[in-house]
A and B are shown apart, each in its own frame.
Chain A
Amino acid sequence: SQTIHQWPATLVQPVGSPLSLECTVEGTSNPNLYWYRQAAGRGLQLLFYSVGIGQISSEVPQNLSASRPQDRQFILSSKKLLLSDSGFYLCAWRPGPTATGELFFGEGSRLTVL
């Protein structure tokens, strides 16, 4: 069966410090991968998605970036964090361009920028 893991689960970082959140999917190949941010336990904002290795689409211009160095690995990064980057970050996958588009989410990473 397929599983998705992301880490770290919780992170407290000072303003201006770098960030790296990692997500790995197991049990599938060539998944579509996504990074979402959720503020205050509410709606999900799509940040990045990837349909293949090295292919990244950005939805929101900001100081975050994403990379996909391997088929089942998706990384969210920042060189210098802002206070507004605080939130709950969710990685998700789906098995390619399915007709109905269901997503399967990781456990989430809680980022607090102080």
Chain B
Amino acid sequence: TQLLEQSPQFLSIQEGENLTVYCNSSSVFSSLQWYRQEPGEGPVLLVTVVTGGEVKKLKRLTFQFGDARKDSSLHITAAQPGDTGLYLCAAKRGGGSNYKLTFGKGTLLTVNP
């Protein structure tokens, strides 16, 4: 069974601080995604990474895919209360015929004003 371990499970910080959350596995993935979910809503896709070592930036968010494509990190610079939410990583093994994503349990981030 492939597992995605996310850490930390919970993170509470003050506005303006920087933070990094992690998504780790012993399996190799063909692609990995990060989603953000706000309370009472469905997850929203933030980014997809596919190449080992790839770095993508989305405003104050920086996503990195590990060289071996087994892990990923999300770094937020100068966090704002609007960044509050559950951050989920999800990964897919194999090619296009694989219909299923594996989700981590998420990091619940609270940014206090």
Contacts and interface: CB of A to CB of B under 8 A. Distances in A.
A94 B45 CA distance: 12
Interface stretch (B53-61, B70-78, B96-104): B96-104
B68 to A, nearest CB: 18
A101 B99 CA distance: 7
A1 interface: no
A25 to B, nearest CB: 13
Given A43-B104, A44-B88, A100-B31, A107 B45 contact: no
The dominant DSSP class at the A interface is: loop
Nearest to A45: B103
A105 B42 contact: yes
Given A97-B96, A102-B48, A90 B42 contact: yes
A50 to B, nearest CB: 9
Contacts of A108: 40-42
Given A43-B105, A101-B31, A49 B42 contact: no
Contacts of A92: 42
A43 B106 contact: yes
Contacts of A102: 33, 45, 48
Contacts of A57: 99
Top 10 A-B residue pairs of the complex, sorted by shortest distance between their CB atoms: A105-B42, A43-B105, A101-B92, A100-B31, A97-B96, A44-B103, A99-B96, A42-B105, A100-B48, A108-B42
